[in-house]
Amino acid sequence: MMRILIAGGVAAGASAAAKARRTNEDAEIIIFEKGKYVSFANCGLPYFIGGEVPELDDLLLVTVKLFQERFRIEVRLEHEVVNIDPAGKTILVAHGGVVTRESYDKLILATGCAPVIPPVPGAELPEVHTVSTITDAQSIAGELDGAQKQVVVVGGGFIGVETAECLAKRGVPTTLVEAQAHVLTNFDPDMVAPVERQLKRLGVKLRLKKGLSGITGSGKVEGVTLEDGTAIAADMVIMAVGMRPVMSLAKEAGLALGPDGGILTDDRMQTSQPDIYAAGDITDSLDLVTGRQARNPLAGSANKQGRTAGACAAGGELSYRGAQGTAIVRVGEITIARTGLGEAAAREAGLNCFVSYTSTRNHASFYPNAQYMILKLVVEEQTGRLLGAQAVGREGVDKRIDVLAAAVYARMSVFDLEQLDLAYAPPFSAARDPVLMAGMAAANIVRGVNRSVTTAQLRELQKDDSYQIIDVRRSDEFLCGGIRGAVNIPIDQLRERVGELDRSKKYILYCSEGYRSYLAGRLLTLLGYDAANLSGGYRAYTMDV
């Protein structure tokens, strides 16, 4: 009888165990989980803290009892795998101070990540928490219940932003501290402005470009101090500065590691030791866009990798193809999402690319409550291949990023995007969906019929006297504010006023969303002027969604 041991029982480990059982009814399958809970929805912890998810039990997806009754899988909680002997095919397991040896036929490593606690003074105080386990969430919610607390969240990544949002919605005075210039540093910095504005609107105090230097208080948290000396009063500190993969077991066992430092795995999630599989945050696996090995520590990958590892360890066959960094965050009314490579990542990967912005509405403009979103495509020059996309807006951002994720997966070009046959009825979309509009704008750039500049490029060109910016909006729109140095020639007057233009100048045209300026740019180009338009318009310039 095959004996399959699994180190770690949250997303990847739980998926692996269940799939192993579905593959092999005879195997003995044991999960060793260091914590007090197995198979819980760690992505749901902020929503429990915020009160949207009322019961912690709701986050327990499969209990120990259910693993036993339904899957005949034994779960040993508070059991930590502390050593692997790949030659002898045994592991050492620590539990309550006692270490025992267990032998395996197949071992699946799914130890996940542990939250990073920066070694600052005061980090050991009792009201300093992380958001990683059920126990963490219980402690935080317990301290907040019925008490008026001020909270400092340290770190503006996914967990920090989600937790700050959830705390603010609960009415807790919250400060979010981030050492970098912007929150959500795995997004392109130009896309996160609406998130930062929304956090402020929710009442979150943002402290950017300021690292944490210490936590003050004797016996209990009284405040934090930042590197610039700022002091912030606080009753609780939530550390969300990052998650570090738990690699000690793998390293001691001599498993080969990948370029991002995770366990190197093949498409069956097999490691360099044939009887050891790995899944989830601790692995390096294929990045579908770059074709390189990379870590992609997100829930979707963990589940897919776990399923693959479980099937293969139990004698079945399944392959995992890779990930592309798709992610989404809700912040109040704002949703921001990404897939594939961001602009900087694409350039770092050595890809020759351009970016294109579009500002479009989530559904037919005539149907009530149409809302703007900004899509940014990262596109390979010449081929037009879609390398990645980011989106920020309100309703319907999740839909567009998932369509774009499917497009990236399928290695579509922007010439494919503009052809997609997407579902249209007025409450859901427009006859030209935002994805199609984004595809058309970018495809026309590759074709050479849409000469566009980005906001970043415009800011450079503004320093150059040979460029003149023309605002082609109506004069009432222009009077409400626009780009410095622009002159206003409404598009509907452009033909008759074209004589005012100077053929020795270069023109940059903009409007609110980028469509009228595209029309104006086509007109001037066809008339022989040097003209380009601002990609995504004034909305993209100001990131106004």
In 3D, which of 337, 335, 300, 340 has the Cα closest to residue 320? 300
In 3D, which of 135, 163, 133 has the Cα closest to residue 151? 163
List strands edge to edge, sheet with 128-130: 128-130, 236-239, 151-154, 174-177, 205-207
Q: Is 188 in the site for its own copies (CB under 8 A)?
A: no
Q: Cα separation of 171 and 154, whole Å?
A: 18
Please identify, using beta-carbon distances, which residue of 81 and 110 lies nearer to its own copies: 110
Please state, as a whole number, how many other Cβ atoms lie within 10 Å of the Cβ of residue 304: 22
Q: Cα separation of 270 and 278, whole Å?
A: 6
Query: Which uninterrupted H or E stretch holds 400?
Result: helix 397-409
Find the shortest distance in angstroms from Cβ 102 to its own copies. Answer: 24
- Are the CB atoms for 73 and 213 separated by under 8 Å? no
Of 43, 166, 312, 480, which one is the catalytic site residue? Answer: 43
Please identify, using beta-carbon distances, which residue of 320 and 507 lies nearer to its own copies: 320
Q: Is 449 in the site for its own copies (CB under 8 A)?
A: yes
Q: Cα separation of 237 and 128, whole Å?
A: 5
225, 359, 429, 452: residue in contact with its own copies (rule CB under 8 A): 429
Q: Cα separation of 11 and 379, whole Å?
A: 33
- Are the CB atoms for 489 and 508 separated by under 8 Å? no
Q: Kindly indicate which of the ranges 109-117, 241-249, 333-341, 481-489 contains the residues binding its own copies, using the contact rule CB under 8 A.
A: 333-341
Please state, as a whole number, how many other Cβ atoms lie within 10 Å of the Cβ of residue 295: 22
Binding map of its own copies across residues 483-512, x = CB under 8 A, - = no contact = --------xx--x-----------------
Tell me how many residues contact its own copies (CB under 8 A).
Answer: 88
Q: Is 181 in the site for its own copies (CB under 8 A)?
A: no
Contacting its own copies within 32-61 (CB under 8 A): 41, 43-44, 47, 52-53, 58-59, 61
Q: Is 291 in the site for its own copies (CB under 8 A)?
A: no
Contacting its own copies within 146-175 (CB under 8 A): 162
325, 393, 536, 537: residue in contact with its own copies (rule CB under 8 A): 325
Q: Is 423 in the site for its own copies (CB under 8 A)?
A: yes
Contacting its own copies within 64-103 (CB under 8 A): 66, 69-72
Q: Kindly indicate which of the ranges 204-212, 257-265, 343-351, 365-373 contains the residues binding its own copies, using the contact rule CB under 8 A.
A: 365-373
Q: Cα separation of 171 and 164, whole Å?
A: 11
Query: Which uninterrupted H or E stretch holds 206?
Result: strand 205-207
Q: Kindly indicate which of the ranges 75-83, 121-129, 221-229, 413-421 contains the residues binding its own copies, using the contact rule CB under 8 A.
A: 413-421
Q: Kindly indicate which of the ranges 62-70, 76-84, 169-177, 505-513 contains the residues binding its own copies, using the contact rule CB under 8 A.
A: 62-70
DSSP for 171-192, please give it.
T--EEEE-SSSSS-TTS-GGG-
Q: Please tell me the number of Cα atoms within 13 Å of 181 on its side-chain side.
A: 6
Q: Cα separation of 380 and 411, whole Å?
A: 11
98, 119, 421, 499: residue in contact with its own copies (rule CB under 8 A): 421
Find the shortest distance in angstroms from Cβ 474 to its own copies. Answer: 12
Alpha-carbon 106 to chain mean position: 33
**33 phi/psi in degrees, rounded to 5:** -120, 125
147, 256, 344, 527: residue in contact with its own copies (rule CB under 8 A): 527
Q: Is 285 in the site for its own copies (CB under 8 A)?
A: no
Please identify, using beta-carbon distances, which residue of 105 and 395 lies nearer to its own copies: 395
Active-site annotation holds for 166: no
Find the shortest distance in angstroms from Cβ 371 to its own copies. Answer: 15
Please identify, using beta-carbon distances, which residue of 353 and 435 lies nearer to its own copies: 435
Contacting its own copies within 111-140 (CB under 8 A): none
Helices (H), 338-396: 343-348
**Which sequence positions are flagged as catalytic?**
43
